[in-house]
Every structure is written in structure tokens, then in C-alpha cells.
Amino acid sequence: MSEVCEACQLGKQAKHPFLTQTTCVNSKPSEMIHSDVWTTKTQSIGGCKYYVSFIDDHTGKVWVYFMKHKGEMFQHFLNFKVMVEKEKGVSIKCLRFDGGGEYFSNEFNEYLKEHGIQRKYSCSYSP
């Protein structure tokens, strides 16, 4: 019986597993928000084909907004920001996303600069 060496196994492995995190990165809710825009396979009764998600890094709480067009993301972010900051009393300090085009409009860039929100990028197609 032949055994496969560890180097051969690692050479065939497509991705290393993500490390599980036992402590949260941010000390306060809403300091870092992860966001992504998704496309649905089936259009909703209301005509929505997209949705944007916002995830609080500290609490893991998720908010989802449905959209007919990707261009609606900025308005949903504005509504989300007002709601979360009033609810938690903490300003959003960082927004992390995968670099999708919907996050790069001039209006969105200027808004983030004006409000001191740092942008960070995650790898595309990674959790």
C-alpha cells in the first residue's frame, strides 16, 4: 500500500482552510461593517434581482436590502448608516468589501472621505 506524502497532499489542495476566530476584531458594534452585493437566480415578485448585505464585525448581525438595480446600493448604505449609528451610538469607522464596481462611484467615494470611513478590501469570492 502506498502512502501519499504531506507535501503531495498540500500541493493538491486548492485552498487552505480559514482559521476560526474566537474573539471579535472590533471592541464596539458597528465599527467595522462587511458588505457585498449579490445577484439572485430568480427575480422576486417585486422585481428585485439583487441584494446588498451589511454585517457587523463585532456582533455578526446581518442586514439585507433587496434591490432592482445595483445602483441602489449607495442609498441603502446611507439608510443603513443612519439607522445603525442612531441605534448603537457609534460611528461606522471602516467598510470592508470585495472591490465590486458598485462600491467605486465618485459619489460613494466622496461620501466615505467626508465621513472619515476607511475602506478595506477582502478577496473576491472568499467568505
User: What is the Cα–Cα distance from 100 to 121, expressed in whole angstroms?
Assistant: 10
User: 107 is in which domain, residue-wise?
Assistant: 29-121
Q: Which residues contact 28 (CB under 8 A, 6 or more apart)?
A: 58, 88, 90
pLDDT number for residue 24: 47
Q: What is the pLDDT of residue 100?
A: 77
> Which pLDDT does position 76 carry in this prediction?
96
Would 23 be classed as within a structural domain? no
Number of domains into which the chain is organized:
1
What are the backbone angles phi and psi of residue 73, rounded to the nearest 5°?
Answer: -55, -45
pLDDT single digits (tens) 98-127 = 877 888 889 999 999 999 999 998 776 655
Percent of the chain with pLDDT over 70: 76
pLDDT at 22 over 50: no
Q: Specify if 82 maps to a domain.
A: yes
Q: How far apart are CA 17 and CA 4, in angstroms?
A: 20
Q: Report if residue 7 sits inside a domain.
A: no
Q: Which CATH number is 105's domain given? A: 3.30.420.10
pTM: 0.75
Within a domain: 109: yes
pLDDT tens-digit series, residues 53-101: 999 998 899 999 999 999 999 999 999 999 998 988 889 999 999 877 8
